[in-house]
Structure 1
Amino acid sequence: MPDQPQAASTPRLSRRQLLAATAASGLALPAWAQFRVEIAGVGTAQMPISIPSFLNESVAGQAVAAIVKADLERSGQFRVIDAAAPLSETSQPAFADWRARNVDALAGGSATRLADGRIDLRFKLWDVVKGADLGGESHAVHPDDVRLAAHRIADTIYQKLTGERGVFATRMAYVTKTGGRYRLLITDADGEGGQESLTSVEPIISPAWAPDGKEIAYVSFEARKAVIWSQNLSTGARRQLAAFRGSNSAPAYSPDGSQIAMTLSREGGSQLFIINRNGGEPRRLTQSSAIDTEPVFSPDGRSIYFVSDRGGAPQIYRMSSSGGGVERVTFTGSYNISPAISPDGRTLAYITRTSGNFKLCVMDLASGTVNQITDTLDDESPSFSPNGRLLVYATRSGGRESLMTTTLDGKIKAKLIASSADMREPTWGPFGR
């Protein structure tokens, strides 16, 4: 889309800083730069698995086995044992040899270029301990979709071995800043394969996925004020959802996708409102003299978690999604913001301020037990994977902003590293693609 006029100043605007500031007062574009993933940490009960290079993998144009391995390592459930020689799905593994290497599961595959130019990726999974064939599958895809097919292979392996649905073929949205230009990117769950949904010289913040994965809402400052937009990810078509007097911020879709909660200052102060997905007149949810912001729905749609300073400092509260019945949720620490709720509704992730530093915490909502799971100093914007097993968040380290994924116990972390852009405001998309 056309460039917007350059503002006199375009400071970093995160949800955290938007809260502080309030308290004080087209079409898809070319692919984004590739990432590399750094994985650190050791889990307590990881399954040892080996995934040798696929036979004839070079015809795929991607290191398919390496993509699958990185996905599984990032989940925290697997420990990858390297193998020197390629292994295809038609091989007859010598299980005794693999058991001697302490391998519990083994996957092999191949890549073939079809006459129509598509790439046929095939794989098979074996239980080495039992010497059993666990089945496999085939993906005949356009060369541009090889990475996605690799993620789907990782999802199949993950589900067969854990009994839970994998998230590697899902998508992620986040914002980058390079110089004075902001970009809203939609990428694979590992941060690669990105395309720009919006580019602007004005800040873009608070992206939020529709539960069907077909639309994303976000806040753009193109009009020199905070305005909420929604965008169809297939067509690139955009429309304004909220451009009322004052600030319009922090959109969050209801679980059924029919409504969007948001923070508006149209009536003075920052209060929570709800509006139909197709627009219309918003309905006010909170009636306080405090700042109420950052709403997020519980998975059953009955409750909304939000941040308020009604107790004197920002804390996380919960209320009925129809309004009323407000109760405080966080009591550990004097400054807690950016709530995210796990898909099963049992875990709250949020950012706490400790000695001037911002760190990611998770709370078991039934017991109230809180664990700080990061050792970085400037974390923000946590978001759960759709299976609830991982979190993505933004952090600042070495003067750069980057994205991290982590297991809920904080033991396995993966840093997604780009060559030139600062990355922020991540949000993990739903299942389905």
Structure 2
Amino acid sequence: MTELRLSRLLIRLIGLFVAAWLSTAQAALTIEITGGAALQIPVAIAPFQGEEAWRDRLSGIIAADLARSGQFKIVSTAGVTPLPRQPADVKLADWKARGAAALVIGNVVSQPGGRLDVQFRLLSTIKEDPASPGGVQQLAGFSLPSSPTQLRLTAHQIADIIYEKLTGDLGVFATRIAYVTKRGGLYELQVADSDGVNAQTVFSSREPIMSPAWSPDGTRLAYVAFESKKPVIYVQELATARRFVLANFKGSNSAPAWAPDGRQLAIVLTKDGTSQIYAINADGTGLKRLTHSSAIDTEPSWSPDGRYILFTSDRGGSPQIYRMPAYGGEPVRLTFQGSYNVTPRYSPDGKSFVFIQREGGRFRVAMQEIASGQVQILTDNQLDESPSFAPNGKLILYASEQGGRGVLAAVSSDGRVKQKLTTEAGDVREPAWGPRLKSQP
């Protein structure tokens, strides 16, 4: 294997992070949306009664979430007086005239001890229900406990309920994303809400940080840090900030990927020569080698059922994507279109995977169905990397470049909706979309 080929395959593992990053100022991510679904659902979100007393206005957050998905058209409520607070207040003819198919109304009620009770209803403006007040059909209605500091999360949870009720798919607005930035000479691993707000620094270092990976329960992050002047894998608890070394073997330790049950991770080590894939228990014990080749095997991704692992290998002469049983065994090559396909990530339903394909000097996000082998190119940028599925499989978060610096972006799995998440300055890379927590409504 030539040094040139080696550097091309490992550029995603080390090169981009050792290179100089631009200085950044602390700033929230801002989102630009282009495109949309072929048929968008028109929804009106009325201001919640009592929300004006709090910094986080629920109606605005809910509307922004739904618009960001590309599945909804937000119908203005401007000029509607008085605003409806209960189903009996709704005049269906007014909302039909505005083109709304559904209407959201709600209240924020203060409770003893500083607690809040957020009540909302999702109403149909198309179908009437003679048995309901005002003849308005209720599609969903919940009362959610909250607090002034949790109002934004509550808004995301309401948006999830609306999204699921109107599309049939799980909502992911109440999930979180992780990514790496650099501020001055400081690398920071950050976690934020799915809309880029409420960014918190999980870990910071003067040395590069890379490859954050969420545990299936969303309580821990595995990542690679270079504090020891070499790549070492750590696992960190988000609630306590406690962390420990998962893998610090001879040579490079990189590319952690959690098994769906959270008991193991697949990692990449060079301790026995070239980069090979190993399984290791989540407490750092029980190391087991899974690949046995003289090539570079890297970038593992577990299938949702835990039966298979996708990975990148140049065993056939160029970087391609292979699949093997999770316990090891003979790999099967999956990609044949193009001479450079890397960084596979399973879809949540296990029927497809996203990856990065190089074509004509461009690195773009692509998706391939496993059964048919059909490939769809989803982006058309110059240098895309690190794709990561949303938990519902409808959006893919990835890193790209704009003006010579790293930015985050997202694209829908059908390629129709595109988002760009940017900061005012600096580099943002290595995104990972967190899981949908079981406690979410």
Q: 1:318 to 1:264 in 2, by over 3 A?
A: same
Which of these residues, 183, 206, 214, is aligned with residue 209 of structure 1?
A: 214
- State the partner residue of 1:39: 33
Alpha-carbon offset, residue 288 of structure 1: 0.5
Structure 2 Cα separation of the partners of residues 119 and 420 of structure 1: 37
Structure 2 Cα separation of the partners of residues 222 and 57 of structure 1: 46
The 3-state SS of whatever aligns with 1:68 is helix
Alpha-carbon offset, residue 178 of structure 1: 2.1
- State the partner residue of 1:359: 364
- State the partner residue of 2:91: 94
Superposed CA offset, 1:36-92 (max 9, x none)? 322111210221111132233221211321211121122232122222148454252
- The 8 Å contact of residues 115 and 146 in structure 2, kept in 1 or not, is answered as yes
* Deviates most, 108-117 or 122-131: 108-117
The 3-state SS of whatever aligns with 1:130 is strand
Pairwise mapping of residues 175-214 of structure 1 onto structure 2 (< 5 A)? Answer: 175-214=180-219
Superposed CA offset, 1:324-361 (max 9, x none)? 12111111111111111111001210111111111111
Structure 2 Cα separation of the partners of residues 19 and 273 of structure 1: 16
- The 8 Å contact of residues 60 and 112 in structure 1, kept in 2 or not, is answered as no
Q: 1:169 to 1:40 in 2, by over 3 A?
A: same
Alpha-carbon offset, residue 112 of structure 1: 3.9
The 3-state SS of whatever aligns with 1:250 is strand
Pairwise mapping of residues 375-390 of structure 1 onto structure 2 (< 5 A)? Answer: 375-390=380-395
Q: 1:334 to 1:272 in 2, by over 3 A?
A: same
Q: 1:62 to 1:271 in 2, by over 3 A?
A: same
Alpha-carbon offset, residue 284 of structure 1: 0.8
Superposed CA offset, 1:294-339 (max 9, x none)? 0010111111000001111111110111111211111111111111
| Structure 2 letter corresponding to 1:62 | D
Alpha-carbon offset, residue 139 of structure 1: 2.7
**How large is the Cα RMSD of the aligned pairs?**
2.0
Alpha-carbon offset, residue 241 of structure 1: 0.4
Alpha-carbon offset, residue 429 of structure 1: 0.9
- State the partner residue of 1:304: 309
- State the partner residue of 1:332: 337
Structure 1 Cα separation of the partners of residues 147 and 410 of structure 2: 29
Gaps of 5+ in 2: 1-6, 17-25, 129-136
| Structure 1 letter corresponding to 2:117 | D
- State the partner residue of 2:73: 79
- The 8 Å contact of residues 179 and 430 in structure 2, kept in 1 or not, is answered as yes
| Structure 2 letter corresponding to 1:336 | N
| Structure 1 letter corresponding to 2:248 | A
Structure 2 Cα separation of the partners of residues 252 and 312 of structure 1: 25
Q: 1:238 to 1:88 in 2, by over 3 A?
A: farther
| Structure 2 letter corresponding to 1:55 | Q
Which of these residues, 400, 410, 417, is aligned with residue 412 of structure 1?
A: 417
Structure 2 Cα separation of the partners of residues 245 and 46 of structure 1: 54
Which of these residues, 43, 51, 55, is aligned with residue 61 of structure 1?
A: 55
Superposed CA offset, 1:110-161 (max 9, x none)? 3344453334332211011113112322233221111101000101111221
| Structure 1 letter corresponding to 2:174 | A
The 3-state SS of whatever aligns with 1:116 is helix
Q: 1:332 to 1:89 in 2, by over 3 A?
A: farther
Pairwise mapping of residues 275-314 of structure 1 onto structure 2 (< 5 A)? Answer: 275-314=280-319
- State the partner residue of 2:154: 149
- State the partner residue of 2:120: 123
TM-score (normalizing by structure 1): 0.91
- The 8 Å contact of residues 13 and 255 in structure 2, kept in 1 or not, is answered as no
